[in-house]
Amino acid sequence: MLDRRTLFGATAATTAFVSSLIGGRKAKAAKSAAVTFNDVEERGTKGRLERLPALDLESTQDFLTGFRNLVNGDMRRLAAKRFSEILEENGYEKDADIPLEKIFELVKDDHRVMMSVRGWVSNQQLTWKQVQDYFHANADKYFAEMESADNSGPGSLELNPGIEPEYTKHEIHIQPGGYTGDPFAGYINYYGVNNFYGGSNYDDEVQAAIAERVQTPPDGMVGRILDLGCATGRLTIAMKDRFPDAEVWGIDVGGPMVRFAHTRCVDMGKDVHFAQRLAEETKFPDNHFDMVVSYIMFHEVTADAQDKIIAEAMRVLRPGGVFFPMDFRTGKQAATNTAYRKFSTWWDHRWNGEPWRFEYASRDFGDLVASYGFEVDETVPAARRGHGAIMAVKPA
Ligand SMILES: C[S@@+](CC[C@H](N)C(=O)[O-])C[C@H]1O[C@@H](n2cnc3c(N)ncnc32)[C@H](O)[C@@H]1O
C-alpha cells in the first residue's frame, strides 16, 4: 500500500514544525499544553471557515469569488438579454422552447452569450486547480491533520474504501479527482465550494437556513437524523445545531469527504457521526431514523441510484418519520423550460461535469418519491432560492 508521502512525493514539513505555526482557535486554547494538534490553521478563521494558510492563495481565491459573482450577475444578465434579442431577430418568442440544436446554431458565434459560459467554466477550473495544487504541495501537513482527528471525538468516523460504484467516480463540477478520487477531495471541495457561494457562506449560513426549513415529523419526535450525500458535512452540522439532542449521521460515498467533515467537527467540538457509505445501502437498521435529509445529491446520481436511494430512505425511516430531499425543482415544481434555461442546463451538464442533470430534470421527483409509498407534500417552502423541497412522510 502506498504511504501518504509516496503518494505525492511531498517533502512537507514535520508535524512539529506544523505545530509551531499553528494559530487560531485550538492553539489559543491549548497554549502550553502538550497536545496532539489536529488543527493546522495558521491565519485564524473567517466565521467558521479556517482561512487559507497564505495571503496570496486567499487573495487569488477572493479574486475568483468576485469574478464568479460578476459572471453570475452582470455577465449573465447581459447574456440573457442578448439571447432574447437573438431569438427575436430570428422570429422566435423570447421565452420560446426550441430544440437545442437550433439554440446552438443561433448563439454559438455571439461573444456575449458564449463568454458568460466560458468565463464561468474558466473560473471553476482555476478555483479547483489552485486549491488542489496547494493541498497536494502540502500533503504531509494535511494528512497529519486528518490522521490526528480520525480516532478523536466528539463524534466518529467510519471509512470503507472500495465501496465506490463507477458512477460516483465522475468529476462532478469538474472537481479534479471528483468526490472519491483525491485524498484531499474534502479540503478541495470545501474551499472550492466556498467560491460557489459567492463569499457568503463563511459561517455555513446557507446550510443553517436550509436546516431551519426542514420539516419535522408530524408527531414532533426527532431522536435520530441521517444526512445522505453529506459531502463536507455543512448541512449535517447545521442539523446538529438545530437539534442538539439528536444523534446525527452524515454519510457519503466519498471517503475523503467524510474524513474532512469529521476533522472539521473534531476541531469545532461537534458531536456528529460520519461514515463512508452508500445512500442506496446505508447499513442502518429498519425503522431507525426520525428524519432523512439530503441537499443537492439526487441530481448527481443515476436514475437507477435515485430509485434505490428513495427505497432505502423508506426502509430506514420509522413510521411517521420524514424524508426531506432538497434539490433542483422538477415536474410540477419546475420553472418553464425556456430556450435560455434549456441552454443553461445543457452547458452545466456538458461543461460543468453534471452527467445526470438532464436525466434528473426529466423525472417528476415528487411523483417518484410518492411511488415508493410516501405521503408527499410539495407545497412546503423552498429550501433555498433555485432549489425545491419535498416533504415525504412514511405512513404510520
Ligand atoms: C453536491 S454534494 C452534497 C452537498 C451537501 N449535501 C451540502 O450540504 O453541502 C453531493 C454529494 O453526494 C455524494 N454522493 C453521490 N452519490 C452518492 C451515493 N450513492 N451515496 C452517498 N453519497 C453520494 C457525493 O460524494 C457528494 O459529496
Q: Is 179 helix (H, G, I), strand (E, B) or coil?
A: coil
Total domains present in the chain: 1
Task: Write out pLDDT tens, residues 323-348.
Answer: 999 999 998 888 777 888 889 989 99
- Answer for the pair 262, 150: CB distance below 8 angstroms, yes or no: yes
List the one residue out of 182, 158, 166, 181 whose CA is nearest residue 305. 166
Does residue 388 fall inside a structural domain?
yes
The atom number, within ligand 1, closest to the CA of 279 reads 20
Task: Write out pLDDT tens, residues 20-32.
Answer: 333 334 433 333 3
| DSSP result, 111-178 | HHHHHHHHHHHHHHHHHHHHHHHHHHHTHHHHHHHHHHHHT-SSSEEE--TT---GGGGS-GGG-TTT
Grid cell for residue 197: 457561494
Does residue 4 fall inside a structural domain?
no
Residue nearest to atom 10 of ligand 1 (CA): 297
Does residue 96 fall inside a structural domain?
no
- Answer for the pair 348, 302: CB distance below 8 angstroms, yes or no: no
Please give the residue that has the higher pLDDT: either 40 or 63. Answer: 63
Distance 296 CA to ligand 1 centre (A): 7
Average pLDDT, the chain: 88
Task: Write out pLDDT tens, residues 32-57.
Answer: 333 344 566 678 888 888 899 889 99
Does residue 360 fall inside a structural domain?
yes
Residue 347 domain boundaries:
185-393
Residue nearest to atom 14 of ligand 1 (CA): 229
Does residue 366 fall inside a structural domain?
yes
**Whether residue 385 has pLDDT greater than 90:** no
Does residue 115 fall inside a structural domain?
no
Does residue 72 fall inside a structural domain?
no
Does residue 293 fall inside a structural domain?
yes
Q: What is the CATH number of the domain that holds 195?
A: 3.40.50.150
Ligand 1 pocket list (CB less than 6 A): 168, 179, 207, 229-231, 234-235, 251-254, 257, 278-280, 295-297, 300-301, 305
